[in-house]
Amino acid sequence: MSVTAPRGFRASGVVAGLKASGRPDVALVVNDGPDHHAAAVFTGNRVEAAPVTWSRTVVADGRADVVVLNSGGANACTGAPGFQDTHVTAEHVAAALGVAAGDVVVCSTGLIGERLPMERLLGGVDAAHAALAADGGGEAAEAIMTTDSVPKTATAARDGWSVGGMAKGAGMLAPALATMLVVVTTDAVVPDAAALDSALREATRTTFDRVDSDGCMSTNDTVVLLASGASGSTPDAGELTEAVTAVCADLARQLVADAEGAHHDIAVEIRGAASEADGLEVARSVARNNLFKCAVFGGDPNWGRVLAAVGTTGAAFDPATLDVSMNGVQVCRAGGVGESRDLVDLAAREVHVLVDLHAGDETVTVWTNDLTHDYVHENSAYST
Amino acid sequence: MSVTAPRGFRASGVVAGLKASGRPDVALVVNDGPDHHAAAVFTGNRVEAAPVTWSRTVVADGRADVVVLNSGGANACTGAPGFQDTHVTAEHVAAALGVAAGDVVVCSTGLIGERLPMERLLGGVDAAHAALAADGGGEAAEAIMTTDSVPKTATAARDGWSVGGMAKGAGMLAPALATMLVVVTTDAVVPDAAALDSALREATRTTFDRVDSDGCMSTNDTVVLLASGASGSTPDAGELTEAVTAVCADLARQLVADAEGAHHDIAVEIRGAASEADGLEVARSVARNNLFKCAVFGGDPNWGRVLAAVGTTGAAFDPATLDVSMNGVQVCRAGGVGESRDLVDLAAREVHVLVDLHAGDETVTVWTNDLTHDYVHENSAYST
């Protein structure tokens, strides 16, 4: 049920003709209230797409009535004309729904550096408006797919209220955030947009921000959270954050599992870090090491490459006390040779790499993928 | 002629049986003086191999009489026993040559996390000692190869004196430094080791430190510069630095050209940077972007991925004024669409990506490679 699992939302997904494949490519998610609280987090990339620039402004006042999303074009690096295209799209959606353009979040994904075919897009908006339905979350999730092999949705039902979400993203997955468009909805009654913002930032910090498939940060990443208040139930801040985090974590794992060309999902867990920042730096360094990622693809438990990646960081640790385990086998003990690497079985999709820094009490996990022939193929043969 | 092009040096390369392939794997480079000045730069990786730890101490006093190098094993992450192996190797070389062990630089390359077969290694040292010759530079260059497809040597002849060098390295190429072992020799008369150190640091800063094949920093990188003074010629500091830089630049380009699995050599040139540090940060970010590197492999002039990489940096620039050219075609103008990407021809091995930040007067170039099926194959099928 995706974003329409919570009450107070309608959604749709239609074919506008932006994608050469003829697959659905325009989606709407409408918040029918009574509340219209909104919060969002965006890419940290300074080269941000026009819809990101627009949508930052939209959610700045804590209110949004609708999210319009398109695949088939990122509208990034398109200059002032591209920003105008986003503006026109928002005005068109606003007119159809009788809301203010300034309450329309716009998200785009696809190839960078090309203008959107606006006639098709606006026709798609009209069709998506006509198709809006209280159970349209599944169609919306399909319409935002790019190289995703499956639509990604998640829900968390709580006592009298719920959270629902959809995500797209299968490449360019990197921190802050992955190339992802995510819409999360809730029918919980939330005191104000600031409370929603807190819940979203806490949720993304430990979920989407810790997915690092290929170290490449996108120009379009957007995660939007909308609250309708339609359930009449008022969870406390902790309950709201927990449920939003659960949905984001579910979607984040689906992104890793569907990453372009990946054969393995790798959890890089750093224990014994002196701080969360240290743990994150080390985990990212390992997760981004191409040689390590190739080794996992080849079924080679090459812990030397893990240590070489750890050694490039500024985190607190003593090289002589580092421990590394792969899928439960401690292949490196005290910075040197541990159990035989022949004992490690990397055949399964899920791989767990555990590094103990012995420098503190913090634990951080980052999820990544292996580096495969298929990754190279997908990203060399097709433009994105 | 490699390291034996300058007068005052002998070298050799022999088969010790460390490599399963039966190829040469132990090399010696001896400085017969009259001077024995030495300088070196090492990996910035905090997980450094035993020979790196040893050799830092050796060159600290500015003197070295000989360099012993082995392929077939990195002696990294081998703990105290691994350090003892390096110490024993140095003592063995010292005894054979009648020098102090503390003047023996040791370099190792190969798989991380395995002890060296010391009996074979020491036998190889004896054979290498017996084989020392005034024209042995070529044999030495062959004996340090790992996945290199060709030996790498360079010379620079100046007025009455010269510089010679050899290098190995074909993967794990990254800044500070690549996985490289490099020995550079000169018969110039140099006032002291400090002068030699200055020349070496200036040379590596703009050569090896700007090679970034795959973003992975090694545990063993070592560049050693030895001066014999045997020419009797005394170049000034600028002349020495120029010649050492020329040899290092030549070797660095050979490393890029022979990088594991690469189909393209990519020069990432950043112009208009506000500072050298800014230019370097941006160049490295582009050079390490897997999506961009895959696109080059696929012949796709995907400038959007270049901009996305630029946008992740903290360098001074305005996204709305960025220009990007690929092989002379300005595909991005003022942050938006420029010439048609169809005009860009990426068929040749050499690719030139030019980014103008329009923020200052500094220019920095980093050399990298594309990300290919062969890279994944070489680094997944074989342990290194």
Q: Where are the domains of chain B?
A: 2-257, 265-381
**Does the pLDDT at position A172 exceed 80?**
no
Q: How confident is the model at residue A177 (pLDDT cuts 50, 70, 90)?
A: very low
With a pLDDT cut of 90, the percent of chain A lying above it is 76
**Does the pLDDT at position A258 exceed 60?**
yes
Q: Is B179 annotated as a binding residue?
A: yes
Please report where in the chains the tokens 């994944």 appear, as a residue.
B376
Average pLDDT over all residues of chain A: 92
Q: Is A185 annotated as a binding residue?
A: no
Q: Give B150's DSSP letter.
A: S
Closest CA in chain A for residue B372: A376
Contacts of A246 (CB under 8 A, 6+ apart): A154, A156, A163
**Does the pLDDT at position A375 exceed 90?**
no
Q: In Å, how far is B198's CA from the nearest CA of chain A? A: 25
| Interval A311-322: pLDDT, tens | 989 999 999 999
Task: Identify the CA nearest to A87 among candidates A133, A113, A121.
Answer: A121
- The four Cα atoms B89, B93, B95, B98 give a dihedral, to 10 degrees, of -150
Instruction: Choose the catalytic residue: A4, A43, A147, A179.
Output: A179
Task: Identify the CA nearest to B288 among candidates B271, B311, B261, B309.
Answer: B309
For the residues B42-56, what does the mean pLDDT come to?
92
What's the confidence (pLDDT) of residue B154? 96
Q: Give B216's DSSP letter.
A: P
Token pair listed for A17: 């003709």
Assess A206–B contact: CB distance below 8 Å, yes or no.
no
Token pair listed for A36: 């219209």
For the residues A326-335, what does the mean pLDDT come to?
95
Of residues B90 and B175, the one with the higher pLDDT is B90
**Does the pLDDT at position B160 exceed 70?**
yes
* C-alpha to C-alpha distance for A191 and A101, rounded to whole angstroms: 24
What's the confidence (pLDDT) of residue A383? 53
> Residue B258: which region, alpha, beta or left (left: phi > 0; alpha: psi -120 to 50)?
alpha
Q: Is B379 annotated as a binding residue?
A: yes
Token pair listed for B235: 């170049």
Residue A285: C-alpha distances to residues A313, A372, B22, B280 (Å): 7, 18, 35, 19
User: Would you say A164 and A6 are in contact if contact means Cβ atoms under 8 Å apart?
Assistant: yes
Assess A62–B contact: CB distance below 8 Å, yes or no.
no
Assess A113–B contact: CB distance below 8 Å, yes or no.
yes
Beta carbons of A332 and B171 less than 8 Å apart: no
Most confident of A113-117, A293-297, B51-55: B51-55
Q: Which residues of B touch A46 (CB under 8 A)?
A: 310-313, 317, 319
Contacts of B98 (CB under 8 A, 6+ apart): none
Of residues B291 and A276, the one with the higher pLDDT is A276
Beta carbons of B216 and A309 less than 8 Å apart: yes
Pick the CATH number of A2-257 from 3.60.70.12, 3.20.20.70, 3.40.50.300, 3.40.1180.10: 3.60.70.12
Most confident of A105-119, A182-196, B216-230: A182-196
Measure CB to CB from residue B371 to each of A115, A334, A376 and give the nearest one.
A376
Measure CB to CB from residue B308 to each of A218, A319, A371 and give the nearest one.
A218
Measure CB to CB from residue A295 to each of B114, B372, B380 and give the nearest one.
B380
**Does the pLDDT at position A174 exceed 80?**
no
| Interval B290-319: pLDDT, tens | 889 999 999 999 998 899 899 989 999 999
Q: Which residues of B touch A330 (CB under 8 A)?
A: none
What's the confidence (pLDDT) of residue B383? 53
User: Would you say B108 and B73 are in contact if contact means Cβ atoms under 8 Å apart?
Assistant: yes
* C-alpha to C-alpha distance for B233 and B218, rounded to whole angstroms: 36
Q: In Å, how far is B317's CA from the nearest CA of chain A? A: 9
Q: Which residues of B touch A45 (CB under 8 A)?
A: 308, 311-312
**Does the pLDDT at position B269 exceed 80?**
yes
User: In this structure, which topology does domain A265-381 adopt according to CATH?
Assistant: Ubiquitin-like (UB roll) (3.10.20)
Q: Out of A215-229, A352-366, B112-126, which region has the weakest mean confidence (pLDDT)?
A: A215-229
> Residue A221: which region, alpha, beta or left (left: phi > 0; alpha: psi -120 to 50)?
beta
User: Is A179 annotated as catalytic?
Assistant: yes
Q: How confident is the model at residue B195 (pLDDT cuts 50, 70, 90)?
A: very high
| Interval A180-216: pLDDT, tens | 899 999 999 999 999 999 999 999 988 988 887 666 6
Contacts of B319 (CB under 8 A, 6+ apart): A46, A47, A48, B307, B311, B335
Assess A77–B contact: CB distance below 8 Å, yes or no.
yes
Beta carbons of B112 and A375 less than 8 Å apart: no
Please report where in the chains the tokens 């030549």 appear, as a residue.
B250
What's the confidence (pLDDT) of residue B382? 57
With a pLDDT cut of 90, the percent of chain B lying above it is 76
Assess A242–B contact: CB distance below 8 Å, yes or no.
no
In which element (H, E) is residue B265 found? strand B265-273
With a pLDDT cut of 70, the percent of chain A lying above it is 95
Q: In Å, how far is B47's CA from the nearest CA of chain A? A: 5
What's the confidence (pLDDT) of residue A382? 57
In which element (H, E) is residue A167 found? strand A162-168
Measure CB to CB from residue A308 to each of B216, B300, B373 and give the nearest one.
B216
Q: How many CA atoms lie less than 13 Å away from B101 in the CB half-sphere?
A: 12
Q: Give B382's DSSP letter.
A: S
Q: Which residues of B touch A298 (CB under 8 A)?
A: 379-381
Token pair listed for B275: 């500072």
**Does the pLDDT at position B263 exceed 50?**
yes
Cβ under 8 Å to A: B residues 295-354: 295, 297-298, 300, 302-305, 307-313, 317, 319-320, 322, 331-332, 334-337, 341
A-B contacts (CB, under 8 Å): 212
Beta carbons of A304 and B44 less than 8 Å apart: no
Q: Out of A319-323, A325-329, B206-210, which region has the weakest mean confidence (pLDDT)?
A: B206-210
Beta carbons of A290 and B111 less than 8 Å apart: no
**Does the pLDDT at position A384 exceed 70?**
no
Q: How confident is the model at residue B377 (pLDDT cuts 50, 70, 90)?
A: confident
Assess B97–A contact: CB distance below 8 Å, yes or no.
no
Using DSSP's 3-state secondary structure scheme, residue B264 falls into coil
What's the confidence (pLDDT) of residue A331? 95
User: Would you say B247 and B184 are in contact if contact means Cβ atoms under 8 Å apart?
Assistant: yes
Q: How confident is the model at residue B173 (pLDDT cuts 50, 70, 90)?
A: very low
Spell A57-93 as b/e; 16+ CB within 10 A means b: ebbeeebbbbbbbbbbbbbbbbbeebbebbbebbebb
Maximum CA pair distance of chain A?
A: 67
Contacts of A54 (CB under 8 A, 6+ apart): A83, A86, A87, A90, A106
Measure CB to CB from residue A337 to each of B45, B78, B302 and give the nearest one.
B78
What's the confidence (pLDDT) of residue B26? 98
Helix axes A290-297, A303-310, angle to 10 degrees: 160
Instruction: Note the ipTM here.
Output: 0.79
What's the confidence (pLDDT) of residue A218? 81
What's the confidence (pLDDT) of residue A126? 98
Identify residue A45 by its one-letter amino acid code: N
Assess A134–B contact: CB distance below 8 Å, yes or no.
no
Assess B113–A contact: CB distance below 8 Å, yes or no.
yes
In which element (H, E) is residue A223 found? strand A222-227
| Interval B53-105: pLDDT, tens | 999 999 999 999 999 999 999 999 998 999 999 999 999 999 999 999 999 99
What's the confidence (pLDDT) of residue A372? 87
Beta carbons of B290 and A113 less than 8 Å apart: no
Task: Identify the CA nearest to A190 among candidates A133, A135, A244, A134.
Answer: A244
**Does the pLDDT at position B175 exceed 60?**
no
Q: In Å, how far is A216's CA from the nearest CA of chain B? A: 6
Instruction: Choose the catalytic residue: B43, B109, B147, B179.
Output: B179
**Does the pLDDT at position A27 exceed 80?**
yes
* C-alpha to C-alpha distance for B27 and B25, rounded to whole angstroms: 7
Average pLDDT over all residues of chain B: 92
What's the confidence (pLDDT) of residue B170? 61
Token pair listed for A273: 């870090």
Is the N-terminal amide bond of B177 cis, ω within 30° of 0? yes
Task: Identify the CA nearest to B353 among candidates B294, B301, B289, B298.
Answer: B301
What's the confidence (pLDDT) of residue A179? 67
What's the confidence (pLDDT) of residue A242? 98
Task: Identify the CA nearest to B69 among candidates B7, B135, B146, B133.
Answer: B146
Q: Is A260 annotated as a binding residue?
A: yes
